Amino acid sequence: MAATRTPLRSFLRAPRLLSSRRVWTCTPCRNGWATWATPRRGVATAQRSNKPYYVTTPIFYVNAAPHVGHLYTMVIADIMKRWQVLLGNEDAQLLTGTDEHGMKIQQAAIQAGMDTQAFCDMNCRTFEDLAKAANLDNDHFIRTTDAAHRDAVQYFWEMLQHRGYIYTSKHEGWYSVSDETFYPQTQVQNSLDPTTGRKRMVSIETGKEVEWSSEINYHFRLSAFKDRLLELYKREDPFITPSTYTPAVVNAVASGLQDLSISRPVERLTWGIPVPGDDTQTIYVWLDALVNYLTKAGYPFPPGQEDKSVWPADLHVVGKDIVRFHCVYWPAFLMALDLPLPRNVLVHGHWTMNREKMSKSTGNVVNPFFAIERFGVDGMRFFLAYRGSLADDADFDNSFIIRDYKKLLQGGIGNLAQRTIGCARGNLRSHIIDAALGKLPAATPDDLEHQTLLQQTPTKVAGHMEKLNPRAALQETMIIIEQTNKYFHAAEPWKSPNPQRVLYNVAESLRIAGILLQPFMPGKSHDLLELLRVDTSDPSKRAFAATAYGSDADYGEGIKKGILFPPLLTEE
């Protein structure tokens, strides 16, 4: 028989808010896990060195169709996961998915005249399709409407309650439906709606409209974690990357944390996960959403199996507008349960159009499917990674993509491959054999300078990736292409009676760049390595270790010209 559910407002009449509640028993206690589920502080924070690398995107809100900003987040996370695979971490994991609860979803479904679950199913498929169109190598796609996630969230709630971190109280403040959060008076201001001329209150941070709300709900003791959070931000290995985002987070926490409202009355919000034991309240969408990272890691972890999980996440990739949720609320929730914290949060800026932020609510967006169809998936992945900014915003314009495609891809990589194969006249394989046997002509100073570039670049690229800077890593890789074109042009091997060393160096340039480009442009880098006849059957030939200059003496057999980057269909 189901336990009797007691409304939240009943607890307010009880003399002790938490201990007076006797109508339900938390899952750990029901299963006799309470002792295991309450580890000593610090015990659960140790991190295993052999744990699979675990990367996540935020879960994307399905109240509207995806835009290019979602694609950018997906691509950055995918690059970071594929980089780990390139290093030899074959079991690296990537999680993406959709956030399907909350008031915005509820309202959007009503406006669409649809059943809410059917509305979520429809829009979820669009994000799944985008992951496929972007050639995402994700291992999981989670939905917050999944039964396993609901169970994980309710368990997480019960554990917070079990430890005394949840209490009930009246909450008043400015609430933004769009942002799904409360703002204090200091974070709102009067504004004039430019379309209607109506006066309204908006969030200073996001510009979204807020409304005054007064309600009784559950609260999380966020204020108890001020000191521990500040210690986290002082860590030698930065918790937040780039560090430009850290001062604002530190200032917000240091100035004092208010306890966090973590439920909504069902009168306002029905579409969500019910509070365990209280069907008058729905769990706050951000508590619900953040737990998704644990859900796919196998939470709640069975006793004795904690060390077999991919948790903690090695990297959360997020946009700068959700830093507070991932860098304040999320670590505090995990600290409350002594669960290991994510190792790093990688924050990126927004994409703008005409220097204005893209927004689904304003319609100022780029359809990512149209962009991929027009410029190709690797053309888009390259542009977003090469021009997108972590610390700042970046402006999107079709002309910018066309410029980079023609100059860097078509005229850079593609043209270099064509010229090299043409100049070798079917003899490239013999030059590679001569290099392996030490039979190349004596090196000139220019040859040695270019060889040094090839020897140093992989280490530099790895350094950028270690610092969670994929843009710098890609730009470093493209220096190979730029400098090789200059080297090739200056050496004029087509005029030389002994072009072997120059052609070998150029072939090595293409091979090394092709390996390093795999996380960024998996399709085109595969095509380039195939063009060079780099062995497909031996994965080590395309791994990071193979970027060492002269490490592969087996490629180049039967090379023929091929077009890597054909002209774009339209270039207006």
Amino acid identity, position 320 = K
C-alpha 165/C-alpha 288 separation (Å) is: 16
**Which of helix, strand or coil describes residue 404?**
helix
Half-sphere exposure (CA, 13 Å, Cβ side) for 192? Answer: 2
The answer to whether the beta carbons of residues 78 and 94 sit under 8 Å apart is yes
Listed range (18-22, 58-62, 499-503) with the worst mean pLDDT: 18-22
Tokens for 21, please give them.
């509640």
Mean pLDDT to the nearest integer, 152-159: 98
Residues found in the chain? 572
Q: What is the mean pLDDT of the chain?
A: 88
Q: Which CATH superfamily is domain 49-387 in?
A: HUPs (3.40.50.620)
Mean pLDDT to the nearest integer, 160-172: 90
Angle made by CA atoms 272, 275, 278, in degrees to the nearest 5: 125
Domain chopping of the chain, boundaries: 49-387, 397-547
Q: What is the pLDDT of residues 298-326, one digit of tens each?
A: 999 998 887 789 999 999 999 999 999 99
Q: Which residue has the higher pLDDT, 176 or 276?
A: 276
Q: What is the pLDDT of residues 101-123, one digit of tens each?
A: 998 899 999 999 999 999 999 99
- Architecture of the structural domain at 397-547: Orthogonal Bundle (1.10)
Mean pLDDT to the nearest integer, 134-147: 97
pLDDT in the model for residue 218: 96
Other CB atoms within 10 A of residue 563 CB: 12
Mean pLDDT to the nearest integer, 275-289: 95
The answer to whether the beta carbons of residues 345 and 329 sit under 8 Å apart is no
Would the pLDDT of 1 be above 50?
A: no
Tokens for 100, please give them.
């399907």
Residue 38 pLDDT grade (very low, low, confident, very high; cuts 50, 70, 90):
very low
Alpha-carbon distances, residue 182 vs 18, 73, 186, 357 (angstroms): 24, 25, 12, 22
C-alpha 570/C-alpha 399 separation (Å) is: 11
Tokens for 143, please give them.
């939905």
C-alpha 6/C-alpha 274 separation (Å) is: 13
Residue 411 pLDDT grade (very low, low, confident, very high; cuts 50, 70, 90):
very high
Q: What is the pLDDT of residues 522-534, one digit of tens each?
A: 999 999 999 999 9
pLDDT in the model for residue 423: 94
Would the pLDDT of 54 be above 80?
A: yes
Residue 170 pLDDT grade (very low, low, confident, very high; cuts 50, 70, 90):
confident
- Dump the DSSP string for 506-560: HHHHHHHHHHHTTTT-HHHHHHHHHHTT--SS-GGGGSGGGGSTT---S--TT--
The answer to whether the beta carbons of residues 298 and 305 sit under 8 Å apart is yes
Mean pLDDT to the nearest integer, 165-169: 95
Would the pLDDT of 434 be above 90?
A: yes
